[in-house]
Structure 1
């Protein structure tokens, strides 16, 4: 039995190690060089939406189902409450998060983490970058880097053959079955191919085609994302795979564009205001806790001219305990002794910014400021409103950070079943072909936070076990 795995992030490494543990011969094809491999996983803290090692968070299923797709035909939805074997081809190939897949995800999350633990990873409820939160998050000790390094070593110890600096190009087929992979270094024969090579956040052409022309204002959240150029998705679509996930969207995160570090997030904007290049506010900066709303706010930033905004705060930001943990950039704020001087430094009309701040200050209501919880301290009669933590910006020094939308990963990918088999447009599993991680599509509208690394681990393992005959 020979299994080819494309990609070496959490999905690919979980697949490769799982397959190797069954005794299969395993080859990993990876575009990056050794030591820079691992895709986005290498650079993430790898938050996991779990309430314990064995149970997903209480809101896990509900959040996914609230963002399960577009307006699905009710007659097709009704089929999905039956056993999967009774679904029509339309239901099996439907672009949605189906309950069969989601149930498997939730049920296998705990056992997958226990398997990772047995291979040397440790997990704990560690501090996060979010100052206010609504759900529970478990983290691997050492983050995604520990995952990559630990699983890479385990794979090598099991004899997995790594082909670094090698790009997957197309799938090989015989009589409808995937039988190998064409790469930049030649062709490889296999009994199964598992595509775990990310989305297309590193491919400007695919971003422009699917996300739109304004995608020029996006950039991957970390260096690993630049390696994700969409070949895995493209080569499967080329042989009739069904698409899944929201191809026109992506996971948005607010970052400082001046910084070159991984994930230089700005999660402190609820304690200030956001203005565009015209010096105008354009969104409610604080509709709720930052972990639940940063993505929707970041999407509004992306809609502004040139996809950029400025977070404006004053000296009172220091009233927020440990606010620095939510400002992960390595670049200092732009500061000014007055609003006019700050405006000059950031290239915004001083009159426009002063008018915006004066109008906002006059609308700030009365109440007690509670920085670590939703405090209802809101503006009155202001459009757009600010729903929490609304205090006047009136104490020097005034501070500003530029904020753009990072593309953490793209949502569009391949339709898979509970065993991570890629499904074609007629609802049939394509023999010999699997997908996991970002290459499989599962997200629509709004990202269910802290589930992407978990998705990679669960379905990477599912794919390998099914390919090697260990799942029924």
Structure 2
């Protein structure tokens, strides 16, 4: 069998993998990147995202950054165990070090290293901006790299190539190579020429399992049949990195029963064809019934839960219905990124027939909703408290009657932006076992590192990939 010897072997070529590769190679070490895709599609999910980052500016995270993470640290956690996290990490018990919850040590490291990591990215030629986004209402601050995730991939890949990093495309990791003492010694990988052995310390940055229907069905149940990756890069994420580490004794972390959900137009084959216009209309299922409060908060705080609810509906599809007053919402067009036109009709009955919804049921739903609306001042770009009364589910903001044609509708399904379940890591990005001890020579970053529970702390995924990828690469070569 052909063997390749390196100091560090990185699995994955998204923001986490490239950050690890560049940070390790900056010290002069020999580094390899194994990437399942061809060179033209390298970059995983990062290639396709706008890469929002939950920052006030290029040096400071948002004011709600750590608070939001800790509000979503896990479910029904044992308070006697959580109390230990107030002590220095070295004093934590093995149980707590391996516990499946959002580790405050990891989050504080992410917050502390975010600014320095963005500064490091600027050194690779990346520029950042607070340009307008598809979120026309928002609860927090965000910036993004000019050129989105693709700019990150191309800049870091170029930096890696300049530093002498070897890229092995169309190469899929299959299993860890273990030394006699149990430490990780490398990766077995499938190439076009057969299996090869890549020896060195290993950084798993190969995404989650949104491209693996078997794993999604195992963890999500029957609803998985209706969920697809939000972008092409997600199809490459088959979960092997997570599985091989778990089989090697790694502790899990992150909620394996949930994923970061986005509402998309299922008719579109574009990357991330989001439909975020639902706060200004009503959402109905295939039977014409409302099933959620369409506007309980700003769209950035509610879209994930809305998408998850839609994923659990029969058929995994809903429809947002708006009337002519949608045009009173400034820049509403930014909230829809589908290349497919909405269904349009002059009457609700005509619209229902196009959507294959029973017309009488949709008419009854709209009539009941309209009767529950109340007079008030419509303020489309802030939560206006213009709510329904006496109807369930309510609509908490922007509740205008649907009465003026033409009517418009978009279908919505739930897309898997990335999976929550991953590997338990410490603040050095070292993968830990069920006793909280680092598995020697094994690191994880990006989606492969599990940190999310409950609601996704928006605009942090690319950031955590960059931060912990950089940490993993530096720690693996002893540069920390």
TM-score bin (small chain): over 0.9
RMSD across aligned positions (CA):
0.8
| Cα shift readout 1:264-307 (whole Å, capped 9, x = no counterpart) | 00111000000001100000000011011111122221121111
1:376–1:387 CA contact under 8 A, matched in 2: yes
Structure 2 residue 238 is matched with structure 1 residue 224: no
| Distance in 1 between residues matched to 2:197 and 2:145, nearest whole Å | 34
Shift of 1:423: 0.3
1:460 aligned partner: 469
1:268–1:326 CA contact under 8 A, matched in 2: yes
Structure 2 residue 150 is matched with structure 1 residue 145: yes
Which of 17, 21, 39 is the equivalent residue of 1:12? Answer: 17
2:199 aligned partner: 190
| Distance in 1 between residues matched to 2:104 and 2:334, nearest whole Å | 37
- 5 Å-filtered alignment, 1:84-163, equals 84-163=89-168
| Cα shift readout 1:113-143 (whole Å, capped 9, x = no counterpart) | 1000011100111111101011000110000
Which of 244, 255, 258 is the equivalent residue of 2:264? Answer: 255
- 5 Å-filtered alignment, 1:175-324, equals 175-185=181-191, 186-324=195-333
| Distance in 2 between residues matched to 1:79 and 1:187, nearest whole Å | 44
| Distance in 2 between residues matched to 1:99 and 1:258, nearest whole Å | 41
Shift of 1:190: 2.9
The runs of 5 or more residues in structure 2 that have no matched partner are 1-5
| Distance in 2 between residues matched to 1:228 and 1:323, nearest whole Å | 33
Which of 402, 417, 435 is the equivalent residue of 1:408? Answer: 417
Shift of 1:86: 1.1
Structure 2 residue 372 is matched with structure 1 residue 363: yes
| Distance in 2 between residues matched to 1:378 and 1:238, nearest whole Å | 51
Give secondary structure in 2 for the equivalent of 1:191: strand
| Distance in 1 between residues matched to 2:333 and 2:316, nearest whole Å | 24
1:354 aligned partner: 363
Give secondary structure in 1 for the equivalent of 2:261: strand
| Distance in 2 between residues matched to 1:27 and 1:410, nearest whole Å | 26
1:19–1:26 CA contact under 8 A, matched in 2: yes
| Distance in 2 between residues matched to 1:70 and 1:394, nearest whole Å | 43
| Distance in 1 between residues matched to 2:50 and 2:126, nearest whole Å | 14
Structure 2 residue 470 is matched with structure 1 residue 470: no
2:189–2:198 CA contact under 8 A, matched in 1: no
Give secondary structure in 2 for the equivalent of 1:310: strand
Shift of 1:407: 0.4
| Distance in 2 between residues matched to 1:248 and 1:61, nearest whole Å | 23
2:27 aligned partner: 22
The runs of 5 or more residues in structure 1 that have no matched partner are none
| Distance in 1 between residues matched to 2:200 and 2:14, nearest whole Å | 22
| Cα shift readout 1:24-64 (whole Å, capped 9, x = no counterpart) | 10100000000101000000000000001111100000000
1:338 aligned partner: 347
| Distance in 2 between residues matched to 1:99 and 1:153, nearest whole Å | 34
| Distance in 2 between residues matched to 1:388 and 1:87, nearest whole Å | 45
Give secondary structure in 1 for the equivalent of 2:39: coil
1:180–1:187 CA contact under 8 A, matched in 2: no
Shift of 1:2: 1.2
Question: TM-score if structure 2 supplies the norm length?
Answer: 0.97
**Number of residue pairs matched by the alignment:** 471
| Distance in 1 between residues matched to 2:197 and 2:140, nearest whole Å | 44
| Distance in 2 between residues matched to 1:71 and 1:355, nearest whole Å | 41
| Cα shift readout 1:82-101 (whole Å, capped 9, x = no counterpart) | 11111111010000111111
1:70 aligned partner: 75
Which of 39, 44, 57 is the equivalent residue of 2:49? Answer: 44
Give secondary structure in 2 for the equivalent of 1:344: helix
